[in-house]
Structure formats: C-alpha cells, structure tokens
C-alpha cells in the first residue's frame, strides 16, 4: 500500500502552515512541499519558463546565475525557478520572474489547465504533504483572473479527480467560521516590527487589480470579505460534489491531530 498524500487547504488565515508543521512532526518520514517550493504538482511562486526564456533570465541576472542554476528544475521543455527562494536586492528580479508564473492571468484557460493536468497526471508521489496546492492558488486564478463560472470550475475539479483516481490522497480543509476575524489576525501577524502591514495591502491590490475585482468594484476589507465568502462556499461545494470521499473538513485552529483519521 502506498502512503497517503495530504493536501492542506483553507482560506488565508486558516492556519495551514501551522497545521502542515504539526502534521509533518507527526509524520516525520513524509516530504513537505510549502508554497514557493519546487513542487511536483503546483507552481505557486515559481517561474515556469521555456529554455529560451531561461537563457534570457540567466543573461539578465548573471550575478545570480549560480543560485538560479542550483535551484532551477528541468521539466520537459521547461525550467521551473522557485524565485522567491532566491534572496536578492537586485531591482526587478522578483517582479520579472513573477511574470512567468502560470497564475494571475499569465496563461489563458486552455494552457493553464493543460499545465496543471499534465503535472498532476505525471505525479506518482507517496508520503507527501502539500500546503495549499489543490485549491488556493488555482481557484483564485480561476475566479479572479480567468473569471470562470462556478460550473466551469466544478468541471475542472471533476476532471482533476479523474486524473487523481489512482493516486492515494486526502484533502484536509481547515474551515474558517469567522473570516473577518481571521483576516484581522493575519494582518497583525504579517506586519513588520513597527506595525506596518505587509500582507494586507498586497492582498487588496491583488484583488482590486484582478479582472473580477475591477468588474465588481471590489475594494477594501468589504471587497475582500465578499470574495473570500464566495470562495469558501465554492470550495465547500467542490469538496461536497467532487471530492467527498477524499476530503475531511475540520474547524480551523480548533482541532487536534488525534481528531483526524490520517
């Protein structure tokens, strides 16, 4: 029997990182993939570039060449660069590499889905833990940038379920009851020592500048809560209608690992 793989999901502020840490302590022989790592399935905070684009990056940022080559992974005709794992003050590096992500509308729907289905299809791992690799970044792009309908998103996940049919996995969803309170907590946690908020302004900008945010005039805390309520309802629907046999929902920050049948 292959070891089960775990996908840890939930809204921002649900405590996914903390849960991932606790689960990895309970399962020390498991491999953990967090956001920004070079994951075998999802590509958050990673540049997905052709060989030609990769050569251009190395040429433009020759001072970082050794570190880029050390961290980059070859995948078919592409290279994957986990660019947020490269710490540098060189102007424009992270902003330019962000353009090569598969998210934020950088790929059209056809190419976006092709990349994901190919990667999930080729994945044959076992004993792995993934932090927000099946919902968060994928569904945010679908909702905000590709502006897919709920029916289209459900159809995507039904197809993904078929791709994953022969793979051992469970989705553990940390459910946030009070989204506003969770956002207030994360605003404080992700501030600098002087109390300046770092995450919240970026999250608002991401929302407001998305096609969906512009069409629906989403702004400020009210706009963010409106979006997250909609996303939470959609994720519950996906779990209920698509992944019912492979998903378990627990109350965020009100659980013990012993309560979950791993």
Backbone angles phi and psi of 166, in degrees to 5: -100, 15
Domain that holds residue 181: 9-37+108-259
Contact 111, 118 (CB under 8 A): no
Q: Which of 53, 66, 67 is nearest to 100 (CA)?
A: 53
Q: What is the pLDDT of residue 257?
A: 82
pLDDT digits (tens, 9 = 90+) for 83-99: 999 999 999 999 999 99
Do 155 and 88 have their domain in common? no
**Encoded tokens for 195:** 């109390």
Assigned domain for 243 exists: yes
Do 152 and 90 have their domain in common? no
Distance (Å, whole) CA 90 – CA 70: 18
Q: What is the pLDDT of residue 256?
A: 80
- Please, what sign has the CA dihedral across residues 118, 120, 143, 72? negative
Q: What is the pLDDT of residue 51?
A: 97
Assigned domain for 2 exists: no
Q: What is the pLDDT of residue 180?
A: 96
Residues with pLDDT less than 50, the chain:
none
pTM for this entry: 0.94
Q: What is the pLDDT of residue 120?
A: 98
Do 71 and 141 have their domain in common? no
SS (H, E, C) 60-129: HCHHHHHHHHHHCEEECCEEEECHHHCCCCCCCHHHHHHCCCCCCCCCCHHHHHHHHHHHHHHCCCCCEE
Q: What is the pLDDT of residue 83?
A: 97
Do 114 and 176 have their domain in common? yes
Q: Which of 68, 155, 143, 52 is nearest to 103 (CA)?
A: 143
Do 96 and 137 have their domain in common? no
Q: How many residues does the chain have?
A: 262
Tally the domains of the chain. Answer: 2
Do 182 and 115 have their domain in common? yes
pLDDT digits (tens, 9 = 90+) for 178-234: 999 999 999 999 998 888 998 999 999 999 999 999 999 999 999 999 999 999 999
Domain boundary among 54, 83, 100: 100
Average pLDDT, the chain: 95
């Amino acid at each position: 029997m292959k070891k089960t793989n775990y996908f840890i999901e939930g809204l921002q502020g649900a405590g996914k990182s903390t849960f991932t840490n606790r689960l990895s302590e309970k399962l020390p022989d498991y491999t953990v993939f967090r956001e920004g790592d070079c994951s075998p399935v999802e590509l958050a905070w990673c540049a997905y570039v052709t060989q030609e684009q990769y050569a251009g990056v190395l040429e433009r940022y020759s001072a970082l060449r050794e570190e880029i080559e050390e961290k980059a992974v070859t995948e078919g005709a592409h290279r994957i660069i986990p660019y947020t794992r490269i710490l540098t003050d060189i102007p424009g590096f992270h902003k330019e590499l962000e353009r090569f992500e598969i998210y934020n509308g950088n790929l059209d729907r056809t190419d976006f889905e092709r990349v994901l289905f190919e990667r999930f299809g080729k994945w044959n791992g076992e004993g792995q833990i993934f932090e927000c690799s099946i919902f968060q970044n994928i569904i945010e792009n679908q909702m905000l940038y590709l502006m897919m309908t709920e029916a289209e998103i459900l159809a995507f996940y039904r197809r993904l379920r078929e791709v994953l049919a022969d793979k051992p996995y469970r989705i553990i969803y940390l459910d946030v009851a009070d989204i506003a309170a969770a956002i207030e907590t994360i605003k404080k946690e992700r501030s600098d020592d002087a109390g300046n908020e770092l995450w919240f302004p970026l999250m608002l900008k991401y929302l407001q500048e998305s096609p969906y945010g512009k069409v629906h005039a989403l702004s400020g805390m009210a706009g963010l809560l409106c979006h997250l309520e909609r996303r939470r309802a959609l994720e519950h629907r996906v779990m209920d209608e698509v992944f019912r046999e492979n998903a378990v929902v627990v109350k965020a920050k009100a659980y013990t690992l012993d309560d979950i049948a791993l």
